[in-house]
Chain A
């Protein structure tokens, strides 16, 4: 079975993506220890993990539009892995917040989640990702049947909350969250277009 995975191109490509993530995480950990992540390494870690989490989520969300538009159906094999990579980065992002910003002190964690709107929406997005990550296991996926698809449509909410989270946390330079927002608009727009076309035909 292992042989099968590594012989085909998709398997190799998936391994490469995982290798990139692995090397990136190594780079970050060594960066904190060696001091090349700048004067405020925790801030760098927080920003990088958040940004990569969004980036992988956007990659996962681009699979369906690409399949619809260009019929690159092999891409479907990457979707789960990309989504899980995003989840791992966002979990790291959240953990840094818990450990280094608050050192597990629950009252101040709750205060931040409740009082800072950008943290509220970010936290909500993270919570909504958890069931998606759990039900990504193929055994559960099969058991859930058609409910699986409906459940996983909540990823659109996660993505929108992700952009809002990013938008609200920047002080003045909104260029980066704006770009994420516009790309998301395109990705959701393509879906909406195909959805309406299908429904009109039916």
Chain B
């Protein structure tokens, strides 16, 4: 079963050609920067890049591996990726997370590993990341609100991380939690519009799928805070809200974990939340989506275009029931 996944996965990447996105974009950014005579600096634009470049992690960012995954997709600009976000912890409208980004403090970040595994404990971010080679993969990102983007993520397969903690035979699901300090909540957490902390979860086979990614950066640089720094999940065949941001806790569980949107409106958001043009949300037809930057909508693909790689995970399941 696992071998099959890898096979499909490598087949998918083989189809695509080599492409070096990061440098092309940075080149463009530099050119635009020089062109505009305004006294802006990239450091001022993305202060967290500066902080991270001084951290011990910088080697992993510089020694990243280029992959050809998604080389046929045209990624959106860093400007769009950094300014159009749903991250309710940092505010409820799309540009609020960018405005309030500095409220999220990522230094001294730790991740608690818990539940059904051999090596539970509290790990520093460095401990979490240091054994992994960062890869750049370009994925489609489809929000449940029927808009989408293409993002060049930097990170590694979640499965490689999870294996290190030796999940046992009872580990059927993986649950994730976003940062929440009751005494010092983030700006959006002061009102209880969701039951904080934000929670998400995956079935074990979904979590171990090679496409499922632990992400630390975009365009070869550390994640901007509003995009879920310092560590987030990306599951490209599921609606964006499954790709939980700013993770502080990972727990292996025997039963299906609670997930925030499903708790908030169970009839609207299910546990699986696979991108599926044939199953509509009460408020959004999921047949079509607006790619950010275009005025009109285009057709949404089954499993967000990753059906070849992931459809087998759901064989025999009624996707209308398990939405």
Contacts and interface: CB of A to CB of B under 8 A. Distances in A.
Interface stretch (A17-25, A48-56, A109-117, A126-134): A109-117
B188 to A, nearest CB: 9
Contacts of A173: 88, 92, 191, 193
Contact of A42 (B84, B88, B194, B290): B290
A148 interface: no
B95 interface: yes
B264 interface: yes
A79 B288 CA distance: 40
A59 to B, nearest CB: 24
Interface in B44-96: 80, 83-84, 88, 92, 94-95
Contacts of B283: 116, 118, 168-169, 171
Contact of B264 (A38, A41, A101, A172): A172
A28 to B, nearest CB: 14
A103 interface: yes
Contacts of A112: 285
B292 interface: yes
Interface in A99-126: 100-103, 108, 111-112, 115-118
Given A172-B264, A173-B92, A173-B193, A108 B285 contact: yes
A111 B292 CA distance: 24
A40 B285 contact: no
A79 to B, nearest CB: 32
B290 A40 contact: yes
Given A38-B84, A39-B293, A40-B290, A172 B92 contact: yes
Interface in B11-59: none
Contacts of A43: 94, 147, 290
A27 B94 CA distance: 20
B316 interface: no
A40 B84 contact: yes
B293 A111 contact: no
| Most central of B88, B92, B264, B283 by chain A CB within 10 Å | B283
Contact of B83 (A39, A108, A118, A168): A39
Interface residues of B, number: 26
Contacts of A38: 83-84, 94-95
A164 B193 CA distance: 19
Contact of B280 (A40, A103, A115, A169): A115
A101 B280 contact: no
Contacts of B296: 100, 103
A147 to B, nearest CB: 38
A40 B264 contact: no
A168 B282 CA distance: 10
B193 A172 contact: yes
Interface string B283-312: 111011010110111000000000000000
Nearest to A45: B295
A115 B290 contact: no
B270 to A, nearest CB: 15
Contacts of B80: 39
A39 B85 CA distance: 10
B282 A117 contact: yes
A39 B84 contact: yes
B83 A116 contact: no
Contacts of B88: 172-173
A118 B268 CA distance: 14
Nearest to A102: B297
B148 to A, nearest CB: 11
B23 to A, nearest CB: 24
B285 A116 contact: yes
Contacts of B290: 40, 42-43
B198 to A, nearest CB: 11
Contacts of A171: 145, 283
A179 B92 CA distance: 16
B94 to A, nearest CB: 7
Given A108-B287, A115-B280, A173-B92, A100 B295 contact: yes
Given A115-B280, A117-B282, A40 B292 contact: yes
13 contacts: A38-B94, A39-B292, A40-B84, A41-B295, A42-B290, A101-B297, A115-B280, A115-B285, A116-B282, A116-B285, A168-B283, A172-B193, A172-B194
Given A39-B94, A100-B295, A115-B280, 7 more contacts: A39-B292, A40-B292, A43-B147, A116-B285, A172-B88, A172-B264, A173-B193
Interface of B: 80, 83-84, 88, 92, 94-95, 145, 147, 191, 193-194, 264, 280, 282-285, 287-288, 290, 292-293, 295-297
Interface of A: 38-43, 100-103, 108, 111-112, 115-118, 168-169, 171-173, 175
